[in-house]
Amino acid sequence: MKCSTGTEKRPLGPAQRMSDRHPWPLALFAAALVAVSLAAALAVLALGAATASAAPPANDDFSAAATLSGASDSDSGTNVDATAQAGEPSASGPINSVWWDWMAPFSGPVRVDTCGSDLDTFLAVYTGAAVGSLSLLAANDDTCNLQSRVDFTATMGTPYRIAVDGFSAATGSIEIAVAPVGIPPANDDFSAAFTLSGASDSDSRTNFDATFETGEPSHAGSGPTRSVWWDWIAPGSGATSVDTCGSGFDTLLGVYTGAAVDSLSEVASNNDSCGLQSKVDFTATAGVNYWIAVDGFGGDEGNVELTVVGPGAPTPPTPTPPPPPADTSAPGGDLKAKGSQKAGKAIKIKVGPLNEAGKASATGKVIVKGARKALPLSALAAKKKKVKFKLGKASGELVAGEIVTLKLKQKGGKKKKRKLVKLVKRGAEAKAKITITLTDLAGNSTSEKLVVKLKK
């Protein structure tokens, strides 16, 4: 028996043995753990900074709406990085909407539009105090080209909530305006024409609610109905062009010289040159004041994009034409077959003349009805009301403008042919149902079906 003296060594635990034998690995492990934690913290900070850099617009939320004021007002904004709120009305999604509010200072008809924006907008006007309980008053997708416009009757003292969203997640710069309906544009009259200057200049306006003046000439042989005016003094002599090609409606364009609206001399005019918009070319004389009128065909109205390029303007680079669109149209041509052909013989189908080159192929089968009446022939015929015979596949090369003949032969050899002939001779009705496929060199194809009656 051993007695403990208090100084007896006890066995070491595994951790203590490791520490005594290898002191450095534990220290290194602790340092590595600190480094990993620090890297994770830095990653979180970087993610937060990246998220913060993509901040939504200031008026992204209903509660932070930008304010329009007075009888008429306008504002510029963006919906880049905008978001949708929980409970937000879904008239257009919503996907990336921004908000404005406007307190009506009068009662009467009002117009809100986004016609100067550079994205496909969706516009909606609401009443209500919270984003989740709004009442839709008016909404619009496309009125002035891909931009939007709404008219409604305002009540004085009522706050109106205006949302602008991008159609199908479109984002970009927004131009929004509110104004009473019936007030013509500032450049409605000849005497209030907006001035363009320099060798080249451009301007964006509208002809909403524009009028025409007594003695005003018709523009491009039509109207006048809703004309607006610009003037431009040529800084030099030479070739000049004026166009409305970016406008959002069917325009009429006229260029004149003269001192009064009722005594103008036409220099050039045009209705449709770039789509439904207009363009004129003429030789300008240095120092001459040219008057430019833009009207709407048949009273049409919308956003006007006017550009003047005169003598001395830098020549724009010639754009590289886009590659021609891929041919996705299938070949076409007449398919002809005699009303009836002889049973047991090859069935002839004429294809063409074709509008392009390619291949033609045909498959089919012969269906015989009334086989029982044609007895006695075979046990198969005796048990069935219909008997089917397969046709072999036929194909041929197509040449544009020419006719190709396809011949479909009956499969099964002479025995099958004799059987078909006997059935037809004994009064059975035989028809060949054929599918013809035309394929062009680009791989586009189309199929048509024909039915050919077979006779004795």
Show the tokens assigned to 337. Answer: 């077959």
- Residue 165 binned pLDDT confidence (cut-offs 50, 70, 90): very high
Cα distance between residue 401 and residue 389, in whole Å: 34
Q: Which of 93, 87, 92 is nearest to 130 (CA)?
A: 87
User: Stretch 90-106: mean pLDDT, rounded?
Assistant: 85
Cα distance between residue 139 and residue 152, in whole Å: 10
**Residues 370-379: contacts with CB under 8 Å, at least 24 apart:** 370/427, 370/428, 370/429, 371/423, 371/428, 373/426, 373/427, 373/428, 374/422, 374/423, 374/426, 374/427, 374/428, 375/426, 377/419, 377/422, 377/423, 377/426, 378/419
pLDDT of residue 47: 47
Lowest mean pLDDT among 31-45, 178-192, 209-223, 300-314: 31-45
pLDDT in tens, 104-127: 988 888 999 999 899 999 999 999
User: Stretch 40-48: mean pLDDT, rounded?
Assistant: 49
User: Stretch 215-232: mean pLDDT, rounded?
Assistant: 93
**Is the confidence at residue 415, as pLDDT, over 70?**
yes
**CA separation (Å) from 364 to 121, 135, 187, 282, 408?**
53, 62, 71, 65, 8
- Residue linked to tokens 């013989």: 345
Report helix angle 23-53 to 14-21, nearest 10.
90
Side by side, the strands of the sheet bearing 289-296 are 194-196, 228-233, 289-296, 251-257, 265-270
Lowest mean pLDDT among 88-97, 276-285, 430-439: 88-97
Domains located in the chain, CATH noted: 62-180 (2.60.120.380), 190-309 (2.60.120.380), 335-455 (2.60.40)
Show the tokens assigned to 77. Answer: 């904004």
Are 98 and 82 a contacting pair, CB within 8 Å?
A: yes
pLDDT of residue 131: 93
Q: What is the CA radius of gyration of the chain?
A: 40
